[in-house]
Amino acid sequence: MSVIAPDFKLSEFIKSLFDNAFWGLMLMVLVGLPAIMMVLFVIEMPVIDGELLTPFLAFTWLADPTRTLPIVHAFMATDMFRVMVFPGFGFAALLAAGTIFVERKMLAKLQLRVGPFYCGKVEGILQLMGDGLKLISKEIIIPAKADKPLFWAAPVLFVATAAAFVSLIPVAPGWVVADIDMGLLAVFAIIGFFPIITILSAWSANSKYPFIGGIRALFQMVSFEIPLILSLLGVVMVTGTLSLSGIVESQSSFPWIIFLPIGAIVFFITMLAELERIPFDLPEAESEIVAGWLTEFSGMMYGLVQLGTYLKLYAFAALFTVLFLGGWHGPMIVPPFPHEIITEGIVMGPVSAQIPGLPLFTQEMLNGALWFVLKTVGVIFFILLPRGVFPRIRIDMLLGLGWTKLIGLCFVNVFIALGLLYAGVLGPGGLQ
């Protein structure tokens, strides 16, 4: 037997539905359609029946699903697609969202709890969406004595820096937003911005708990960035390049973790410290300083910081995959495309133009992306695991580990790389 709340009014309910439909239509007309038209003017239009397709005609074709394939194909060939969708921000944000959900459920299983359960029929699958809507709708509270411009800018800068980090990661052959020759050096430069943003955010809040957390984060990141960089010297020495794509190509026969396991272990430990993950979560120690440098953030400002944190987690896990696990290399498990599609192209509905082959989705690209995602997800699992099984270490132990033990292991790793090169095991005439 259903019971209707006494304050429920059918007329108000119907009015709210019409209001939502009206504002949705207004946003589509005022924002959505102009944005689509702008994209159509940016992308390079395909040739249909010997004539170049115009953006205005392409806009009308969007209503016919059988005609949209050439337009979608042209859009996927643009830099905008790489930045916004794959392998850039959209792809990384999707993996970051999945990481948040999996972490909460995994920790619940480790600690014999339920975890997110009610929001969504299957294991609380819609909890992340509910949390996102909650953060968007919550009021943003700015401390009265805060330095407001810096306080507002910190979350945006944090997400932007994490997105810049993501843009350097090659996901598949030819699929990277920014493929530069000095990619690894650019990674170090971008990582160096995180301590600056953290300390500026903590200082701008003008509150003691964020400031303590910011100072801790500064000490932690500075002490662990040196072994982080030194741990990768072995990879640079055996490959002879700073290009991330070049490092992946050098692992076509075997991953570098086989010959440089010490460097991989040191990089993983320093990666945990850079991500402020347990056991190195002193900057956000909730049992000591509430939430550390995040204490004063609320609403979507806190949501942006969390998004940037998990984007950074994905980027570090992907970087570990690129440097030590062979990146996109792996056995060919994706079946080849039919020969007639490769040679003759695709014909869709009334559109007589053929799209020759599938240059954006070759067998190598799909197989490489699949192996890259599987390896990266595996690394993310091992990054999340310590949170459920390890306690937080003291600040003196943390600094001693970073400045003494890890740096010593880094030099051992460098000597191993030199020994492999001079012994002829690697390099010209060796295995690689």
- 12 Cβ neighbours under 8 A, 6+ residues apart: none
What span, in angstroms and rounded, lies between the C-alpha atoms of 428 and 238?
10
Q: What is the pLDDT of residues 128-155, one digit of tens each?
A: 777 777 777 777 778 877 788 888 888 8
CA angle 69, 73, 74 (to 5 degrees): 120
Within a domain: residue 158?
Answer: yes
| pTM for the structure as a whole | 0.82
- The answer to whether position 189 is within a domain reads yes
Residue 134 lies in a domain: no
Is residue 194 included in any domain, yes or no? yes
Confidence bin at 56 (pLDDT 50/70/90): confident
Tally the domains of the chain: 1
Whether 308 maps to a domain, the answer reads yes
Question: Which residue range forms the structural domain that includes residue 180?
Answer: 143-331+359-422
pLDDT one-digit tens code per residue, 159-172: 999 999 999 999 98
Indicate whether 354 pLDDT > 50. no
Query: How far is residue 13's CA from residue 9's CA, in Å, rounded to a whole number?
Result: 6
Q: Residue 172's beta-bridge partner residues?
A: 175
Whose tokens are 């994905």? That residue is 314
- Give a yes or no: residue 175 inside a domain: yes
Residue 350 reports pLDDT greater than 60:
no
Dihedral sign for Cα atoms in the order 394, 317, 227, 234? positive
Chain segment 236-272, per-residue pLDDT in tens: 988 888 889 989 988 888 899 989 999 999 999 998 8
Angle at 255 between CA 192 and CA 414, to 5 degrees: 55
What mean pLDDT do residues 358-386 have?
A: 84
pLDDT tier for residue 428 given thresholds of 50, 70 and 90 = low
Between these two residues, 354 and 304, which has the higher pLDDT value? 304
Report if residue 10 sits inside a domain. Answer: no
Task: Classify residue 428: in a domain, yes or no.
Answer: no
- pLDDT tens, position by position, 205-224: 888 888 888 878 877 877 88
- Check whether 375 has a pLDDT greater than 60: yes
Range with the lowest mean pLDDT among 98-102, 159-163, 164-168, 398-402?
398-402
d(CA 23, CA 236): 55
* Of residues 109 and 9, more confidently modeled: 109
What does the mean pLDDT of the chain come to?
80
How many Å apart are CA 245 and CA 236, to the nearest integer? 12
Cα distance between residue 106 and residue 177, in whole Å: 32
Q: Evaluate if residue 345 carries a pLDDT over 60.
A: no
> Residue 259 phi/psi, 5° resolution?
-95, -20
Quick check: 338 pLDDT over 70? no
Binned at pLDDT 50, 70 and 90, residue 182 comes out as confident
